[in-house]
Structure 1
Amino acid sequence: MSTARAPMVWRHDERVVVCAPYIDAERTRAEGRKIPTEDAVARPHVVEIAHACERGLGLRCEIEEEKCYSRDFWVRGRVRVTWRDDEGNLARPELDTRGKLLKAIAAEVKKYPERNADGSPGAHAMYTTPKMMFEEYVKTVAGMAGPAPGTGKKAEKLKAAGGGSRKKKGRK
């Protein structure tokens, strides 16, 4: 007995993936920047990119929060921008390449209300660098842990008794 199955049709996702490092002026080309520095913006955030696409450019997009940038684990989230309709026509004919799309997104992010006049993040902004995020993480973890090695009650008793250090095992 044979059962006929319909052939599996897989349709490629036509949306463009936009990660924050693609338009980050503080990154090098090797670190993931895809547009020239003068067109890029300092420390863009995924929410700003999504607002720039939807409100500024009129393109539909979706934020994927669970994804992270492949070259840098600390960069969380990316935006999938729908730039073609179901027939394959461009939603904005002037944005016919990914480079032009990224430049247009960066230009809209620079206009974001919480940014300074030069396009840099404001002083009250939550946008941080990966190094700043790591330092904050280390502070949090250090606050959760107990005393550092050699500073606890047992170490104080050893120092008071005159010991201070333990005898090393092994050859002399």
Structure 2
Amino acid sequence: MEGGSIANIKKWIVMYPVYINSKKTIAEGRRICTTKACENPTCIEIGDCCNHLKLPFAIEIDKAYPRDFMQRGRVRVSLKREDGTFYNPAITSRKQLMLHVAELVPRHPGRNKKQEAASASSTGPSSSKSGKSGKKKR
């Protein structure tokens, strides 16, 4: 749990990783366009991005997204202080928060290692296969 008054946490914005996941459709819960969205973000990455943007946040692991209850976790973020001023003047709405976080997640330090490992494993054994496949013409 990070910063702010915990008593007021119910008023904070809820952000599920699905909202900025480029692999999901609008029907599955994505809230921003695929060109701006990022691939499979996690709550920890979203939390770190909020920390980078100097916004207080709280990660709730026990919660699940209603449309996809296998996807665990969400992040609560506060945009305003008690007096109504914004923590980060560049982020004044839920949509702006999603766009900023989606932009930062791919640059997350823990992210690069994961993607390199995924790309290395996918190019391994499958490259030995020949290009021809399927039915032969008669």
Q: Shorter-normalised TM-score: what interval? A: 0.7 to 0.9
Q: Where does residue 85 of structure 1 map in the other structure?
A: 81
CA drift of 1:101 comes to 0.7
Q: Which has the larger radius of gyration?
A: 1
TM-score where L is the length of structure 1: 0.60
**Separation in 2, partners of 1:112, 1:20:** 15
Q: C-alpha offsets along residues 116-160 of structure 1, whole Å, 9 cap, x if unaligned?
A: 4xxxx51547xxxxxxxxxxxxxxxxxxxxxxxxxxxxxxxxxxx
Unaligned 5+ runs, structure 1: 1-10, 126-172
**Separation in 1, partners of 2:104, 2:9:** 28
**Separation in 2, partners of 1:46, 1:124:** 20
CA contact (8 A) 2:41 2:105 kept: yes
Higher RCO (CA < 8 A, seq sep 6+): 2
- With over 3 angstroms needed to count, the CA separation of the structure-2 counterparts of 1:24 and 1:96, relative to structure 1, is same
RMSD: 2.0
TM-score where L is the length of structure 2: 0.74
**Residues 4-83 of structure 1 correspond to what in structure 2 (within 5 A)?**
13-54=10-51, 56-83=52-79
Structure 1 ranges of 4+ moved more than 2 A: 11-14
Report the identity percentage.
Answer: 36
| More helix, by proportion | 2
Aligned mate of 2:107, from 111, 131, 136 = 111
CA contact (8 A) 1:61 1:80 kept: yes
SS at match of 2:31: coil
